[in-house]
Amino acid sequence: MQQNNGLDKNQIISFVLFSLVLFGFMFYFQTKQAKETATSKAKEPVKTEQAEIKPSEVQNINPQINQDSIKTVSLKNDLLNVQFSSLGGQISSVELLKFKAYNKKTDKDTDPLYLFNKNNASYGFQFKDKTGKVFNTKDMVFSPSVKGNTVTMQSNINGAIIQFIYTLNEKYAIGFKVKTQGLAQIVNDGKADFTWDYTVRGAEKGRSQEETHTEFSYAFNNYKSNDYDGRTTMEEPKETLNWIAVKQQFFGAIIEANSGFTNSKGNQDPIKEGEFLKKFTFDGQVKMAGNELNQDFTWYFVPMDLKLLKSYDKNFDEIIPLGWSFIGTLNRHFFIPIYNLLTSWGIAAGWVIFLMTIITKIILSPVMFKQHKLSAMMRVIRPEIDEVNAKYKDADAMKKQQATMAVYKKAGVNQMAGCLPAVLQIPIFYALFRFFPNNLDLRGQSFWFAKDLTAYDDVIKLPFNIPFIGEHLSIFAIACTIVILIYTILTSGNMQQPTQPGMPNMKVLMYIFPVTFLFFLNTSASGLSWYYFVSNAINIVIILVIKYWILDEKKIHAQIQANKQKEPKKEGKFQKRMREMMEKAQEQQKAQGKK
C-alpha cells in the first residue's frame, strides 16, 4: 500500500474556492457589528441608553401631565404577564413567563425575560389637526378599565373620544382594537401614522451574536412575501406591510394591522455596550375612514419557535433566519426534523448533535469515497504529470495546461469530480451556521463544559481582551481548530511547492486556514463548534479507513492503464467549450507576440 501523497492540483483549487467562501462568511459576520457601530457614530451618539428612555423625558414632551395620575393595570395568562399604562394607553411591560434571560453575574438564565419594560418601548398614533399641530396618543393620558381578559383605555381630546381595547388571547397574542368618535371634527387630512420606538434589551449570553440576529422583519403581498432588514434604515414606500416585527435571537415583538401599514420606514442603531442591543424606530400609515380611525391590530410577543410561529398561519415562521432557498429548505426539512426526532427519544442535546453529524456523514459517504478515489487516481498518474511539467517547462502556460488535460482525459480522470464535495459542503456549512444559533430548543441546553449550546463556552477566561477573540477562549473552538489542522496535514502531506517565482506557498496557506476557525468559532454557538469537531474527527477516520482498507492503488493503476487502451470518449459540450476557449486564448497570445 502506497503512502498517501496528499492533495492533487484539482483538489487544491476546490479547497481554495471553498476556503474563499468560508472566509467571506467569517469576515462578514465578524465585521458586521463593527461596521454598524461605525455608521452609528456618524449620528448623534448614545451615551447611555438609560438617558434615552428614562421617564423624566416623557415629562419634557408634555409637562402638563401629572405623573401621579398615571395608572397601571395588568392581564396575565400562563405564558404572558402584560401591564398597560394609562400614559399613552400603551402596553408598558411584557414578561414571557416560560423563559428566563441571561444573568452575567450568575452565568445562567435566571432573570425575568421582559420584552417591554422600564420605558424601553412606546407606540401610538400620530395625527395632524386642522391648525397643523401634530399630536400623538402616546403623550395622552387614558382612563383604564379591566373586565375579564380585556383592558379598555379611553381618552378625550377636544371633544373626540379615542379608545384602545386590548384582549389577552390564547398563546402569545393580544388583540388591539382602536376606535375613535368625533375625531373628524379635529383632523381633516385622513392620515394617521403609527409610530413605534423600541430599544431592544439583550437576553442572551453572546452579545455580538444576539445583536447580529436582532433586526426588522416584515410581511407584505397579503402575507405571501417576507423580507428582513439588518441595516441602518428600512424603507418600503410602495408595499403594504401586513405586519412588522422586531426580532431578537430567540424572541420577537410583532404588530399586525388588518388593513396593513403603508409608506413604511424605519431606522435601527446599534448600542455599543450595556444591557441594550439596538434602538429601533418605525413609522407606517394606517387607513382612516371619514377621518375616523377604527382599525383592528394584534400584538404578538413570541419565542422564535418554528412550530408555534407556523401555527398562526401568517408566515411568522419566516422571521427565523434559517437561510434562503435551498439553505432554508435543508434546515426545515432535514436538520430540524432529525433534531426533533432524536430529542423525542430523550437523548441529550450534545449527543443529538453527535448523531446528526454521523447521519450527515453517512449520506455524504458516497461523495467522499469518489473524492478519495479521485485523489488516489491523481497520485497514480502523478509521474506522467511531472513529465508534462518538465517537457513544457519553458513553454507558455496554455500549452502546459492543454498537455495536462490530455493526460487526464487519456487516463479517464474527471477533474470536475473533485469540486463536487466542496460544492455540497458549502450549503451544509451555511445551513448549520443558521441552525445552531437560531434553534430555540437548543437554548439553555448544556453539554460538558458548555452551559448553553447556542452560545460560546468560556471556561478559559482571559484577563485582557484580544481583537477578534475577546476575553475568553472556547474549548470547543480550540478542539475544533486542532482537529481541522490534523485533517489538513493528512490531506496535504506531499503537496507540490510552487515552481514559479511569486506564487504563494499553498501548503502554508492551508495550514493557516484552520487557525482562522478559532477566531470565527470562539464567539459562535458552541453547538456549531461541537458539530464541526465531530465532523472533522470522522473525516480523519474515513481517510484512514479508505486509505488502508478500501482503496487498492494497484487496482486503480490497472484501471487507468485499461482506460488508456480504450477509444477516447466523445468530447462533451463543456470540454469542447473549454478547449475552444483555450485555443482562442492561445491564438490571441501568438497575435500579440507578433505585434
Q: What is the pLDDT of residue 369?
A: 74
Long-range residue pairs from 387-395, CB within 8 A, at least 24 positions apart, any chain: 389/499
- Per-residue pLDDT tens for 223-233? 998 888 777 78
Using only the alpha carbons of the chain, give its radius of gyration. 31
Structural domain of 386: 9-33+328-580
Are 340 and 436 within one domain?
A: yes
Choice between 484 and 286, residue whose per-residue pLDDT is larger: 286
Same domain, 314 and 355: no
Alpha-carbon dihedral 34, 37, 39, 43, rounded to 10 degrees = -170
Residues 295 and 215 in one domain: yes
More confident residue, 24 or 129: 129
Question: Whole-angstrom Cα distance, residue 254 to residue 245?
Answer: 4
Is 594 within a domain? no
Q: Classify residue 591: in a domain, yes or no.
A: no
Angle among Cα 309, 312, 314 to the nearest 5 degrees reads 90
User: What contacts 479, CB < 8 A, 6 or more positions away?
Assistant: 529, 533
Residue 185 has pLDDT above 70, yes or no: yes
Q: Would you state the pLDDT for residue 414?
A: 64
Indicate whether 556 belongs to any domain.
yes
Of residues 556 and 169, the one with the higher pLDDT is 169
Residue 592 forms part of a structural domain: no
Domain count, the chain: 2
| Same domain as 498, residue 364 | yes
Are 242 and 260 in contact, with CB atoms under 8 Å apart? yes
Confidence of residue 536 (pLDDT cuts 50, 70, 90): confident
| pLDDT at site 513 | 75
Residue 173 backbone zone (phi > 0: left; psi -120 to 50: alpha; other: beta): beta
Question: How many CA atoms lie within 13 Å of 211's alpha carbon, on the beta-carbon side?
Answer: 28
How many CA atoms, within 13 angstroms, populate the side-chain half-sphere of residue 375? 27
Last residue of a domain, one of 321, 351, 366: 321
Cβ contact 345:445 at 8 Å: no
Arithmetic mean of pLDDT, 363-369: 77
Report the CATH number at residue 172: 2.70.98.90
Collect contacts of 573-578 with beta carbons under 8 A, ≥24 apart.
Answer: 574/416, 575/409, 578/405
Residue 590 in domain: no
- The answer as to whether 538 is a domain residue is yes
Same domain, 341 and 298: no
The residue among 288, 321, 354 that closes a domain is: 321
In angstroms, the CA 566 to CA 585 distance is 30
For residues 440-460, give the mean pLDDT. 87
Rounded to the nearest 5°, which phi and psi values hold at 329? -60, -40
Residues 477 and 538 placed together within one structural domain of the fold: yes
User: 91-111, pLDDT tens digit by residue?
Assistant: 999 999 999 999 888 888 889
Q: How confident is the model at residue 150 (pLDDT cuts 50, 70, 90)?
A: very high
In terms of average pLDDT, the best of 401-410, 429-438, 568-577 is 429-438
My answer on whether 112 and 24 are in the same domain is no
pLDDT of the residue at 558: 66
For the segment 297-345, what is each residue's pLDDT rounded down to a tens digit? 999 999 999 999 999 999 999 999 888 778 888 898 899 999 999 999 9
Q: Do 125 and 143 lie in a common domain?
A: yes
| Residues 322, 435 contacting (CB under 8 angstroms) | yes
Residues 92 and 156 in one domain: yes
Maximal C-alpha separation, the chain: 99
Query: Average pLDDT in the 144-161 region?
Result: 92
- Does 6 have pLDDT greater than 50? no
Q: At which of 321, 343, 361 does a domain end?
A: 321
Q: Average model confidence (pLDDT) for the chain? A: 78
Examine residue 372 and state whether it is found in any structural domain, yes or no.
yes
Residue 221 confidence (pLDDT): 92
303 and 341 in a single domain? The answer is no
Assigned domain for 41 exists: no
Task: Based on the fold, state whether residues 293 and 441 are members of the same structural domain.
Answer: no
Q: Which three cell numbers stand for residue 70?
A: 398615571
Domain co-membership, 221 together with 288: yes
Residue 574 has pLDDT above 70, yes or no: no
Give the global pTM. 0.75
pLDDT of residue 561: 62
